[in-house]
Amino acid sequence: MHIDRRRFLSQGLRVSGAIVLAHDAEGRSAIGSESELKFAALEKRISIGAAVASAQLKGDRDFARLVSDTCSRIVPEWEMKWSTIYRMPGIVDLSGMDYLYEYAKSSGLRLRGHPLLWHSRIPSHIKVGIEEGRARTLMADHFRTVIGRYGNLIDSWDVVNEAIYPEDKHEYGLRESPWFRALGPKYVEEAFILARSMAPNARLVYNDYNIEYDRRKAGYVLALLRRLVKEKAPVDAVGLQSHLWATGKKIDHAGLSDFCKEVRDLGLDILITELDVRERKFDIPFHERDATVAGVVEDYLESIFQYGPPKEFVFWGLSDRYSWLSKPDYNPENPRGYLNRGLPFDDKMKRKDVWAVIYSAIKSIK
């Protein structure tokens, strides 16, 4: 599926012209006018999504409306992390996830379940349990709790998140993690088989990052997917987190295209699960930054779309107002905590160039 760059960009510009008409005098989108993207995507059987936090939806009506207008699914930014649910020993706190579930249900949205199994954000008392031989029980209890509670409204699960980290020099390039230490390299297969037994109709996804930049890591992820398919582990798709860089890193287009082709040849779907663009230059004019972000995403989508569009197109956030990349803890390139402009809407909920690029990419799908 090749996108004609000239047509793609000209359409994007024309679309951005049309899009301006859908805004009020201050350039804010009128209610409901932000649905073009999700309806264009749904025509191509693609869902548009965003990571959101319950506090953002509770405290910001404009943002909550933008999410329900723009998206057909949401993903919990942190409400389904083990560090949130099991923060207090003996307590299972799903209040935040319940809020997102009710918001999604009342807004006609679906949810992504993220993440079921991850090496990060595991409370210390849980780590002790894993290390004391209760890994399988803890995994099964967790899966049963969250998969059972939300049913089919969650139709896509990141069953295992970020299991590949070659720098740890383990077998198959697997990351050193409490799950790997307790259950060995086959814990990934185990997780998918367990998830399938509880979510027979959901899309089961292996999710990871840096595949577009690190050919070595991409190779290990591909080898993992091959093993899963060969062993008939019930994996349906790979999630490319797609945390891109505005400058400082170059996408490995050849490696990414090869990766996408191999994934398709395995019969698996490709999802974009956490798209945003990390900036490094905060002292140049907004229009230059926004054009750079749009160009990086356009470039990326050209490689991704070559072998068929992603079934899910999910941003890690929707408005710059809440981007995790504006926080120095998560963006070492932004020690001063400047607003990172790497999402489709700025901090005033106005569309940016990258919105038109994504819209045009989706409209150009045959």
The residues that touch ligand XIL, with contacts defined as CB under 6 A, are 77-78, 115, 161, 241, 274, 324
Q: How far is the CB of 240 from ligand XIL (least distance, A)?
A: 11
∠ CA 8-14-16, nearest 5°, is 100
Residue 363 tokens, joined? 């409209």
Q: How far is the CB of 241 from ligand XIL (least distance, A)?
A: 6
In the bound state with ligand XIL, the residue whose beta carbon lies nearer, of 40 and 225, is 225
Q: How far is the CB of 90 from ligand XIL (least distance, A)?
A: 23
In the bound state with ligand XIL, the residue whose beta carbon lies nearer, of 36 and 77, is 77
Helical residues (DSSP H) of 184-321, grouped into ranges: 187-198, 215-230, 253-265, 286-305
In whole angstroms, what is the distance from residue 163 CA to residue 147 CA? 21
Q: How far is the CB of 29 from ligand XIL (least distance, A)?
A: 24
Q: How far is the CB of 310 from ligand XIL (least distance, A)?
A: 16
In the bound state with ligand XIL, the residue whose beta carbon lies nearer, of 43 and 168, is 168
Q: How far is the CB of 358 from ligand XIL (least distance, A)?
A: 20
In the bound state with ligand XIL, the residue whose beta carbon lies nearer, of 115 and 309, is 115
Task: Give the phi and the psi of residue 158 in degrees, each rounded to 5.
Answer: -80, 90
In the bound state with ligand XIL, the residue whose beta carbon lies nearer, of 78 and 338, is 78
In the bound state with ligand XIL, the residue whose beta carbon lies nearer, of 324 and 355, is 324
Q: Which residue is nearest to ligand XIL (CB)?
A: 324
Residue 75 tokens, joined? 């993903």
In whole angstroms, what is the distance from residue 217 CA to residue 305 CA? 21
Beta strands in the chain (DSSP E): 47-52, 73-76, 110-113, 117-118, 154-161, 203-208, 237-240, 243-245, 269-278, 312-315
Which residues touch 48 (CB under 8 Å, ≥6 apart)? 37, 38, 41, 70, 71, 72, 73, 313, 314
> Can you tell me whether residue 112 is helix, strand or coil?
strand
